[in-house]
Amino acid sequence: MVKVKICGITSAEDAIFAVESGADMIGLIIDVPVDTQRKISLEKAIEISKDIGSVVAVLMPRSASDVLRVVRELRPYAVQLHGYEPNSFVLDVKSSLHKETKIIKTAHIDLDGNVKCPEGEDKSSYLEDLGKIADFVLMDTVTSREGGTGMTHDWTVSKGIKEKIGLPTIIAGGLTPENVLRAIKIVKPYAVDVASGVEIYPGKKDPHKVRSFIKSAREVKSCT
């Protein structure tokens, strides 16, 4: 069964509703250096996660120690490195964490279907090398901003990346209750990730859309 991650949660009310509706993970966007109404403080994240199991801390850290501080205080299921962190940085983070804390690395895909590599990375080997380090790769749409664009990318590109690196994949970017089933059928991901597609406004989830999204994602019983 495909897992569902509801991202950009800003309140305990929305977090509890998402989990009770069947979400497998909730994403908390913590102190990222971008202008988004889905951003919350670490203190708020701790408050929201008190009664929640699989929390993903979405970060754009400057150092591995920044990640370690969040993990120590929040104790998330996973950390999602959502910037353009090079593989060497991802490896530093991995070496500083206990094995039970998973690492999700975002791969940014533009509207032309190109993967935007971190500066200094060899484009020919970036994804294969990442596949040896991270636990999951999350493929998101990038425009002039990273994440929360509300726009889809070419899912056949995501399918190709999945087949190339052999990691469990998470699809994000412009997913909605109406198109998530199609995305799943094309990519066959481990999980799907949604933020803007289930909102009333940025940072506030729509209960009907959350339920509808999860129901649609569950229509595909398994992806291999």
Distance CA 195, CA 79 (A): 17
Which contacts qualify for 116-120: CB closer than 8 Å, 24 or more apart?
A: 116/84, 116/142, 117/84, 118/84, 118/85, 118/86, 118/87, 119/84, 119/86, 120/86
| H helix runs in 97-206, sequence order | 126-130, 155-165, 180-187
Distance CA 96, CA 35 (A): 28
Residues recognised as catalytic = 7, 140
CB-CB contact of 53 with 24 (8 Å): no
